[in-house]
Homo-oligomer: A and B are copies of this chain.
Amino acid sequence: MGGLSEENIKGVVLALLSSAFIGGSFIIKKKGLKRAAACSGVRAGVGGYAYLLEPLWWIGMITMIAGEAANFVAYAFAPAVLVTPLGALSIIVSATLAHFILKEKLPRLGVLGCVMCIAGSVIIVVHAPRERAIDSVQEIWGMATQPAFLLYVGSVLVLVFILVFHFSPQCGHTNVLVFTGICSLMGSLSVMSVKALGTSLKLTFEGNNQLIYPETWFFLLVVATCVVMQMNYLNKALDTFNTAVVSPIYYVMFTTLTILASVIMFKDWDGQSADNIISEICGFIAVLSGTILLHSTKDFERSSSFGSSYAPVSPTLSTRLCNGNGEFRRDEEDPEPPEDMCMTKQ
């Protein structure tokens, strides 16, 4: 039985806080964008930058950064197989807040999707493996250079290479799996390096300085490279395809690959009973199904308020940030007239 160690509890609390912040930030930014559009008459989607003068938008941005920071720290405390799937909860927070604050109706099947995500998350939390105690960045380096994980990294790089140079030019703009596949593959490496970096920083803050080791700086370089690449292709995917198509596919692939990477690198499932592993997988399937269901409820999709805000179930600051002002991309089709939310300010 995995149970919850003190470290795991910290990780879960941080992951939940992260989801709450990120989920909430979409709503705050959306309000900010609406206000800005109503006041200036020009929407972000058609080239307006009025939102930059809107304090609400900045509050939303700060909330999102806080959420991303919490997510980053969560990885330093708990295994990726625990933290990553909990990212789905940010969608629930947005959906619920949109229902109550923005008065956007959440359809019945959307509620069912939320219930599934929550049930699945609870199962994952209950059965999560304990985080192994790590004493130095070299220990992580040892994990990252074990043959099994090197094989994983190698396969990922080969696949990405093929996708980028062979499939991207050929069918990148017709097949949604190409760009999202690149993002997801790189995303799994991002999370592993984020976890390595986060753990090193945690050790450093605990007085065990890891900055003197080149491995720490190497992981930082990997984080930067992977995140830039992931960000670039996520934007391509979002520019080419509808968010409602990209998001669930990306979430499913990214989360699955991250769990696979973590199981190989950190041996999360070693020493766990078969019951626990089966339960985790089923809980994970429940979260995935709930996410797909939430995305496929058509009314919800059509409300279009989430625009690209749904994509960012990603592990890293910049990947989410880059979508920050794409929020209104699909709102051009939104028939609803700008509300005069800035009346009080006039």
Q: A: which residues have CB within 8 A of B?
A: 1, 3, 108-109, 112, 115-116, 119-120, 122-123, 126-127, 273, 275, 278-279, 282-283, 285-286, 289-290, 292-293, 296
Contacts and interface: CB of A to CB of B under 8 A. Distances in A.
B116 A292 contact: no
Nearest to A274: B126
B122 A282 contact: yes
A293 to B, nearest CB: 6
Contacts of A283: 119, 123, 282
A93 to B, nearest CB: 19
A285 B115 contact: yes
A3 B289 contact: no
B273 A122 contact: no
A292 B290 CA distance: 13
Contacts of A292: 112
A1 B275 contact: yes
A2 to B, nearest CB: 8
Given A108-B296, A123-B123, A293-B109, A275 B116 contact: no
A44 to B, nearest CB: 33
A171 B265 CA distance: 61
B109 A296 contact: yes
A180 to B, nearest CB: 18
A122 B276 CA distance: 12
Given A112-B292, A289-B115, A292-B112, A120 B1 contact: no
A260 B62 CA distance: 46
Contact of A273 (B1, B115, B116, B120): B1
Contacts of A3: 275
A24 to B, nearest CB: 25
A42 B195 CA distance: 69
A112 to B, nearest CB: 5
Given A115-B285, A116-B286, A289-B112, A122 B278 contact: yes
A293 B113 CA distance: 9
Contact of A285 (B119, B278, B296): B119
A11 to B, nearest CB: 17
Given A112-B293, A289-B115, A293-B112, A120 B282 contact: yes
Interface centre among A122, A279, A292 (most CB of B within 10 A): A279
A108, A115, A126: most-surrounded residue (chain B CB, <10 A): A126
B1 A119 contact: no
17 contacts: A1-B273, A108-B296, A109-B109, A109-B296, A112-B292, A112-B293, A115-B285, A116-B289, A119-B285, A120-B286, A122-B278, A123-B123, A123-B278, A123-B279, A123-B282, A126-B278, A126-B279
Nearest to A125: B278
A-B pairs, top 6 by smallest CB distance, nearest first, are A119-B282, A119-B285, A123-B282, A286-B286, A116-B289, A126-B275
A248 to B, nearest CB: 11
A250 to B, nearest CB: 17
A12 to B, nearest CB: 14
A172 to B, nearest CB: 24
A1 B279 CA distance: 12
